[in-house]
Amino acid sequence: MKKKILARWQLYLLLLLPLLYIIIFAYVPMGGLIIAFKQYDFRKGILGSPWVGLKHFKDFFKSYKFVMVLKNTLTLSLYSLAISFPLPILFALLLNSMRSQKYAKVIQTVTYIPHFFSTVIMVGLLTQILSNRTGIYGTLYTMLTGQNGPNILASGPAFKHIYVWSGVWQNMGYSAIIYIAALSGVDTSLHEAAEIDGASRIQRIWYIDLPSILPTATLDGANRWQRIRYVSWPAIVPTTTIMLILAVGQLMNVGYEKVLLMQNDLNLNYSEIISTYVYKVGLASGITNFSLSAAISMFNSVINFILLLSVNKITKKLSGSGIF
């Protein structure tokens, strides 16, 4: 073991900086979570502040906003996961099946660009488009009806749809990169084998089934959709499984900046989520309560951790793939 380490000491040296970064900026600050169990006073410091145990957790659970922020967080998270997770996969599969690679690259580039817009610019674009007075939507509505249109940006029920679908437009192209990379590793001969006309069942089993690309053996003259279903899709299942586990592990972490910028008094009952509530309790309110903010954040992190472990265990049982 020692000889192996000495033989590859350069690799271990390269790992040292990332390891130090994680320890200093990820693990060391976790010690500050102790304020969730204290009545933190900056004049007394973390260690000098009085211990209150689970008081802040109980206060949060008893708060009239607890059910609202939890419901809104789960609604946005699950809606976003249900839409934003499968669409990049479908997009990658469609791009991979296009005959003209030049045209596919143009589409890739165009769909990547919105990802690099800042959140502020993104919300500004939404305002310019959806404003019922000065936006494109409002202008067209007034031209057609002679009246101001409904204020969509202030509509609570519309908030989640605007948030999720604008996120799809912004991130779908970029999120597809990892699946496109996985598909690039698929042996093209598998696609050609799927199109073989006249291959016997034994030949199809031997040359297609056994190499583990699943039911391609049943194809005799497969069309493009069948090649996507039986060749491309099975090739990215392991990648998809890992990405799903990571996505579920971040289920409670809804995009804080975008929600806060889209939030207003009229849609607050639908847009107030855990992360914005933490910000308001800890910094934006007249009486800051760092301990309560830390307790809420810890609750959020524990739920994410439990979800990560649960989904990882389930996917390992079902598909044999997992992150640990």
The pLDDT tens digits of the residues spanning 167-179 come to 999 999 888 888 7
Contact 190, 213 (CB under 8 A): yes
**Torsion angle, alpha carbons of 5, 323, 72, 52, to 10:** -50
Three-class secondary structure of residue 38 per DSSP? strand
Q: What span, in angstroms and rounded, lies between the C-alpha atoms of 284 and 275? A: 12
Q: What span, in angstroms and rounded, lies between the C-alpha atoms of 94 and 100? A: 12
Q: What span, in angstroms and rounded, lies between the C-alpha atoms of 94 and 15? A: 38
Residue ranges of domains in the chain: 53-70+252-317
What is the DSSP code (8-state) at residue 256?
A: H
Indicate whether this model's pTM tops 0.85.
Answer: no
Q: What span, in angstroms and rounded, lies between the C-alpha atoms of 120 and 127? A: 11
Q: What would the two tokens of residue 151 be?
A: 């204020």
Task: Provide the residue-wise pLDDT of the chain in tens; the chain has 324 residues.
Answer: 667 767 777 777 888 888 899 999 888 888 888 999 999 888 888 888 899 999 999 999 998 899 999 999 999 999 999 998 889 888 887 787 777 778 888 888 899 899 999 999 999 999 999 988 888 888 888 888 888 888 898 889 999 999 999 999 999 988 888 877 776 765 556 555 555 555 444 443 344 333 432 333 233 455 556 555 656 566 666 777 777 787 887 888 887 889 999 998 889 999 999 999 988 887 777 677 889 889 998 998 899 889 888 888 888 887 776 777
> 200 in the Ramachandran plot: left (φ > 0), alpha (ψ -120 to 50) or beta?
beta
Q: What would the two tokens of residue 295 be?
A: 């307790």
